[in-house]
Amino acid sequence: MSLKRKRQAKKRSKNLYYGFSFLSIVIILYLVLSFFNSEKIYRSLHVSLNIIIQILPILVLIIFLIGIINYFLKPKTVSKCLGVESGVRGWYLAIIMGILSHGPIYVWYPLLKDLRDRGMRSGLVAVFLYNRAIKIPLLPVMIYYFGIGFVILLSIYMIIASVIEGKILEIIDYRLVKLRRKDG
């Protein structure tokens, strides 16, 4: 087993430990607090269940997409479409994917991490996340309240700003990688 894989396994084990520790603490807190105010605990659990029910469909979709990506997309393909070699096409793809994506942002994190592990550029991850703020279903509501000129201008500004942020992130990421290589 290579040194890199050993580090990754150790990190996963540590993350799993912290995850179970946090879950255990939350369960213990709920049990203790249920003795003092069981009605609030019940309402809290009810709200949590409703949130889980709301995000479950998008979570299933993301898990399905990760499965498809793991089966069909090889790191070389991701690198070609979203990696260093992607050029302008990668930026356009990240912008479009960001605008078209729906659901809570945190459900997209595992997919983006998987794509990044397969070669997606950090700047394109930032562009994707930035462009999630442009919501196609909400554009008519924005136009109603703010006018079409404002909405078009704001959307264009957000797309341009996302690319600038992505480029800045890539510069920082490049320098950090360069420093790590120099130190290691």
Residue 171 confidence (pLDDT): 93
Summarised one tens digit per residue, pLDDT across range 120-136 is: 899 999 999 999 999 88
**What global pTM score does this model have?**
0.65
Mean pLDDT of the chain: 85
Summarised one tens digit per residue, pLDDT across range 72-96 is: 767 677 777 787 778 899 999 999 9
Which amino acid is located at 42 in the chain? Y
The answer to whether 95 and 127 have CB atoms below 8 angstroms apart is yes
The answer to whether 123 and 159 have CB atoms below 8 angstroms apart is no
* Spatial CB neighbours of 25, under 8 Å, sequence gap ≥ 6: none
Taken in order 49, 50, 52, 57, is the CA torsion positive or negative? positive
Summarised one tens digit per residue, pLDDT across range 153-172 is: 999 999 999 999 999 999 99
Look-up of token digits 């794509």? 115
